[in-house]
Structure 1
Amino acid sequence: MNLALLDPFAVLKEFPETLTHTLNFGHSVYIKYNNSGDYLASGLSSGTILIIDNDTKNVIRKLQGHIRAIQSLKWSSCGRYLLSSSRDWKCLLWDLKFNKIIKKFNFNGPIWNAEFSSKNISDIVVALYDNTPKIIDETHGIRDLDDDKSLVTTFHPDGEHIFIGTNKGIIKIISRETLEVLFTQKISNSSIKNIVISSNGRKMAINSSDRIIRQITLPEFSTDSSLWELETDHKYQDVVNRLQWNSILFNSNSEYLIASAFGSAHVIYMWETSMGSLVKILEGPKEELVDIEWNFRKCIIGATGIDSGTIYLWTLVIPQKWSALAPDFVEIEENIDYEEKEDEFDIVPEDEINQKQLNEEDELIDIITKDKTDARGYQLDKPFVVDICYDQIELSEGEE
C-alpha cells in the first residue's frame, strides 16, 4: 500500500538533493559503499572499520586490525572481501564472511591509497607517500611498480592497465601484465592528489593541488600506445574563492562529477560532465567535508565531516501520493477557506441517528434484475458489432 502513495515521476531524479540522515558511530574519516549499495564501510580515526546496514542505519559488524586512522577502503565486486589501508603503514585484506584477516602487508612508509583489481583481488596496487608505488600479486609478492615517486595509483576498470599520478603532475599508464610504462604525459605543474575513472572506463578526473579538477577522455587501449593522448575536456574550479578540493567522484554513468571543498565551504559541488556546467551545490552540514561517496543503487551521496567525524547522507525525498487512498481525495497546493453547511455540525440526538440507520437497512436491494448497460455505457441487450469497410482492404491474388 505504501508504494501506491509514492509519486512514480519523482523516482526519475538522477541525484539526491536533501540532507536526510546523519550517522554518528565514532569519528569517521573514510567511507565506501559496496557494489550493491546495501552496506557502507566506515573507517574511523582509531583504525576500526564499521560495516553499516543501509536500510537500518545500524552497525552490523566491527573490524579491528589497524591501530591508526584508516586511509582507504576498497570492496571486491562480490562484496565478500574488503581491502583497507591505514596510517599505521599496513594493508589488510578482510574476509567478511568469516570476519577475519586473510592477508597482511607491511610497508616502510605512509600509505596514500591501496586498491585491488576488479578482475582479481590478488592484484593490489599501493601508493606510498613520496615513495615508489608497489604492486602485490600471489606469484611475485611485493614489487616496485615504477621507479619514480608517486602519490596516487588506481586500476582501470578493465583490470589490464594501472594509472599512476606523481607529485610533479605526471600521469603514467602501465601494463598490468608486463609492468611496462606504456604512456606518460604531464597534466599539471602541481601534485596529483586524486584519480577517478568512470565505471565505463571512458572518462577520467584528476584532482591536483593547483585547485583545478581536469576531466579527460581516455583513449582506446586497443590501439597503438604511441597514438594515445589525454585530452582535457573540462576544467572545474572555483574562480572566485580559489578552493582546494578534498575528494572527487563520478556517478554510475559518469554524467555527473561531485567534489568536496577544502576550508570553510561546507558544501558538495556537482557538475554535469557533458557541458562542464555547475548544476547543484549540496548544502547542509556546518563543517568541512573530507571524503565523499555515491551510492549508485540507492541514489545516496555520503560525506564525512572533518571535525566531528559524522557521516552525512543526502537522499531522494519522494512526495507521497495521498490521492491514491481514495478517488475523491483532492490534493491542494495551499490552504483554502472551507464554508460548512448550515446543518453540518448540528448535534443530532442518538435515537434519531439509530432510526436513520434502521431506515437505510430496510431498503430492498435488487439483485435479480439485470443491468441494461455496462460500465462503459454500452447496451447489454444488443450485440457488439465491428464495422469493416471491405473497399479499403486490398486482397492478394487467390484470396476472396
Structure 2
Amino acid sequence: MNLSLLDPFAVAKEYPDTLIQTLAYGHSTQIRFSQKGDYLASGLADGIILIIDTDTNSTIQVLRDHTRAITSLCWSKCGRYLLSSSRDWKVNLWDLSSCKVIRSCNFECPVWCSVMNPANKFQFVAALVDNDPVFVDVENEPKITQLATSPYGVENPPRQSTLTVNFTPDAKYIFTGTSKGWLNVIETSTAQLVRSLNVCGSNIKNIEISPNSAKLAVNSSDRIIRQYTMPKLEVPVGEWEFELENRYQDAVNRLQWNALRFNHNSEYLCASTLGATHDVYIWETALGSLIKILEGSNDELLAVDWNYRKCWIVASTMDTGTLFIWSVVIPQKWSALAPDFEEIEQNIDYEEKEDEFDYVDEDDMNKQIEEEGEEVDILRREEVDARGFPFVDSFVIDSVPVSE
C-alpha cells in the first residue's frame, strides 16, 4: 500500500541523493547487504558481527567468534549463510538459522579478504598477507588449494602478492589483483591461471564486477578507477578482450578511493573517498560523467555498499565506524490511489453538487463496476515490486533481544 502512494517518477530514480540517517552500532569496519537487501551485516573492529534489519534499522542478531577487526563479509544468495574474515587469521562460515559457526579455517597469516563461491556456499577464495591466494573447500575437512600470483605468460616477473579477490557472478572464474598492478583470471573448476592483464604499476586495491556481468572496475593506489567492458564469459578465455571504457579520478584533490560498488544494471558506479573530502562519488558508467556527490560525513569513509532494492547507499567512517545512509526522499502522492483525488495546498470552501450525495442503488453500482473493468485478483501474488524488481524468496533471520 505504501509503495502505491509514491510518485512513480521519483521511484524510478536509480541512485540516492539525500542523507537520511546515521547509525552508531559500534566501530564498523566492513558492511554488506544481503542479496534481497532486507539485512545489513556490519563487522566491527572488535570482531563482533551485527545483523541489522533494514526495515527497522535495529540489530536483530549479534555474532561472536572473531577476536579482531573484520576484514570482509559475503552473503550467500539465499541469505542464510554469511562468510566472514578477520585479522585474527581466520575465516568463518555462519549459519544464520542458528547464528553459529558451522565451518572455520585458520591460516598462518592475516587475511586481506575472502569471497564466497556464488554456486557453492562451502567454497571460498581468500587473499592472504604476503602469500599467494588460496581456494578453500570446507564441505568436509578443509581442502586448501594454492593459487598463482605471478602473471600468466610473463617471464621473470617481479615479486608480488595478491591483495584482492572476487568471483564472477556465474562462479566460473576468479579475478585477483596483485601489488604490481596485474589482474589475474583463474578458472574455478581447475584452479589454473588462464589470463593476465597489466592494469597499472601500483597496488590493485579492489576488483568490482557488476551483478549483470557487464562491467569491471579496478581501483588502484595510483588514485584512478579503471572501468572495463567485461568479456563474454561463454567464449574461450584466449578470445577475451578487456576494453578500457572510462577512468575516474579527482585531479584537483588527488583523492584515494577506498571501496567500489555498481548498481544492479551497471549504469552507475559509486566509490568512497579517503583524503581531503569525506564524500561518496557516483558516476554514470556509459559516459563516465560525475552525476552526484553524497555529502554529510565529517570523517573519511571506508567501506561502502549499494542496496538497489531500497535505493540506499551505506558507508562506514574510518575513525568512528558510524554508518551513513543516503536514499531518495520520495513525497507521497495520494492521487495514485484515486485518480479523482485532488491535492490542494490550502483549505478551500467546497460547494456541494446537487446530486452528489443522492442515494444510489447498490445493485446498479455493482453492475456499473462490472461493466467498467475486470475483476481485481487480490489473491495472486505480484511478480514485481513498484520499481520493477522481481520478488525473491529469502531466508528470514529470527530476531532476539539484544542487550546493550
What TM-score, normalized by structure 1, do the two folds share?
0.80
Q: CA deviation at 1:315?
A: 1.3
- Partner Cα distance (2:303, 2:238) in 1: 36
- Partner Cα distance (2:301, 2:185) in 1: 30
- Partner Cα distance (1:296, 1:100) in 2: 29
- Partner Cα distance (1:114, 1:42) in 2: 15
- 1:177 counterpart SS class: coil
Count residues with an aligned counterpart.
Answer: 341
- Partner Cα distance (2:313, 2:6) in 1: 21
Partner of 2:181 in structure 1? 169
Q: Does 1:234 align with 2:246?
A: yes
Q: Deviations over 1:298-343 (max 9, x none)?
A: 11100001122111111111112366798454237xxxxx999xxx
**Does the 8 A contact of 2:255 with 2:276 survive in 1?**
no
Q: Does 1:273 align with 2:275?
A: no
Partner of 1:62 in structure 2? 62
Q: Deviations over 1:156-215 (max 9, x none)?
A: 111111111100100111111111211112110111000010111121100000000000
- Partner Cα distance (1:273, 1:82) in 2: 30
Q: Does 1:300 align with 2:334?
A: no
- Partner Cα distance (2:260, 2:207) in 1: 8
Partner of 1:145 in structure 2? 147
Partner of 1:330 in structure 2? 344
CA spacing shift, 1:209–1:329, aligned 2, 3 Å:
closer
Q: Does 1:255 align with 2:267?
A: yes
Q: Deviations over 1:252-292 (max 9, x none)?
A: 10000000111231110000001111111111111111100
Q: Deviations over 1:342-400 (max 9, x none)?
A: xxxxxxxxxxxxxxxxxxxxxxx8999xxxxxx9xxxxxxxxxxxxxxxxxxxxxxxxx
Q: CA deviation at 1:223?
A: 2.6
Partner of 1:208 in structure 2? 220
Partner of 2:95 in structure 1? 95
Q: CA deviation at 1:21?
A: 1.1
Q: CA deviation at 1:4?
A: 5.8
- Partner Cα distance (2:264, 2:279) in 1: 21
Q: Percent identity?
A: 50
CA spacing shift, 1:2–1:164, aligned 2, 3 Å:
closer
Partner of 1:320 in structure 2? 332
**Does the 8 A contact of 2:334 with 2:341 survive in 1?**
no
- Partner Cα distance (1:210, 1:136) in 2: 31
Name structure 1 gaps, 5 residues minimum. Answer: 333-337, 341-364, 369-374, 376-400
Aligned partner letter, 1:18: T
Q: Does 1:291 align with 2:293?
A: no
CA spacing shift, 1:339–1:224, aligned 2, 3 Å:
closer
**Does the 8 A contact of 1:40 with 1:51 survive in 2?**
yes
CA spacing shift, 1:24–1:141, aligned 2, 3 Å:
same
1:170-209 aligned within 5 A: 170-209=182-221
Q: CA deviation at 1:228?
A: 2.1
Q: CA deviation at 1:224?
A: 3.0
CA spacing shift, 1:185–1:366, aligned 2, 3 Å:
closer
- 1:287 counterpart SS class: coil
**Does the 8 A contact of 1:167 with 1:190 survive in 2?**
yes
- Partner Cα distance (2:115, 2:342) in 1: 57
Partner of 1:347 in structure 2? none
**Does the 8 A contact of 1:264 with 1:287 survive in 2?**
no
Aligned partner letter, 2:242: L
Higher relative contact order (CA 8 A, sep 6+): 2
Aligned partner letter, 2:109: G
Larger radius of gyration: 1
Partner of 2:172 in structure 1? 160
Name structure 2 gaps, 5 residues minimum. Answer: 151-160, 350-357, 362-367, 369-404
**Does the 8 A contact of 1:7 with 1:319 survive in 2?**
yes
Partner of 2:19 in structure 1? 19
